[in-house]
Every structure is written in structure tokens, then in C-alpha cells.
Amino acid sequence: MRYLEDFQVGQTFELGEFTLTAEDIIAFGERYDPQSFHLSDDADGPFGGLIASGWQTGSNCQHLLVTKLLGDSASLGSPGVERIRFLKPVRPGVSYAARFKVQEVTPSKRREDRGTMLGQILLTDPKGVLVYSLDAFILFSRQGATPGGA
């Protein structure tokens, strides 16, 4: 179990990889983001073919973050996102790698039982090119603190 104190600024965690199929992208697009470039593989379209919704990309990154890092931690959820960037198209059949970098760790001044981490998810393509980034706050319990403390 990881608590707030177990994270250090600059620490990096490899979260793993994911690959989307054309069928995955189209199904997500039909349900959540029905723009033409998420629904068909049109070589003459604005991106030269089918691309994933940025929200689908973020959802896959969130899944990796929870299964590879937060699932074995004292995470209390997130109070919000600082910044999200969709830098390059995410395409079907390409394997993308995600990592998480700790940017800030701040114990709460009001609640001694918790604190906040600012972390960054970075997603790269097989050539190491950054395609997506997310800076988000995550609340964590502090080790040994009494829940609901002052």
C-alpha cells in the first residue's frame, strides 16, 4: 500500500502499454464522440485516416494508472485536472506506452490525514514521441494519520 509519504517529486512509474483496434475506436466514437475522423478510416479526412478520440486515449491512460499504480495505494480520488494535451493522433494498431511522473507532493494544512499529489501521465508512441499528457491532482491518505483528523 502506497501512501502520500511514499511518493517523491521526480519519481516515475511505468504504467504499461495499450493498443486500440479500429473497431475499438469506432465503437467509442459512435457512443461518445461521433466526429467523422473517429468513425471511419478516410484517407482524405483531416487526419489522413481513423484516429481515436482524445477522451478514449485518456480513458485508456486512466485504466493503466489505476491498475498499475493507484489500485495498490491509499488514493482518495482526484479533485481535478490541471492540464490535458492531445498532442498527436492516436491510431489503430499502434502500441502506446504510458508513464506517470510525480511533480508535487503536498500534505494538507487542514486535514492531517491526507495530502495532494500533482502528477503527470505521459503517453508516447513507439518512436518515443509524446502524443498525450495529463497533469492531475490526486488525493492520498497519509500513513498513520487518523481519518478525519484536524
- d(C-alpha 120, C-alpha 85), whole Å: 11
Asked if residue 143 has pLDDT above 80, the reply is yes
- d(C-alpha 4, C-alpha 29), whole Å: 36
Taking every pair of Cα atoms in the chain, the longest distance, rounded to a whole number of angstroms, is 60
- d(C-alpha 120, C-alpha 102), whole Å: 7
Full-model pTM:
0.93
Domain at 4-141, CATH class: alpha beta
pLDDT score, position 150:
44
Domain ranges of the chain: 4-141
pLDDT tens-place string over residues 106-127 = 999 999 999 999 999 999 999 9
Q: What are phi and psi of 31, to 5 degrees?
A: -85, -40
Q: How far is the CA of 45 from the CAs of 57, 91, 126, 140, in angstroms?
A: 20, 14, 24, 44
Q: Which three cell numbers stand for residue 66?
A: 489505476
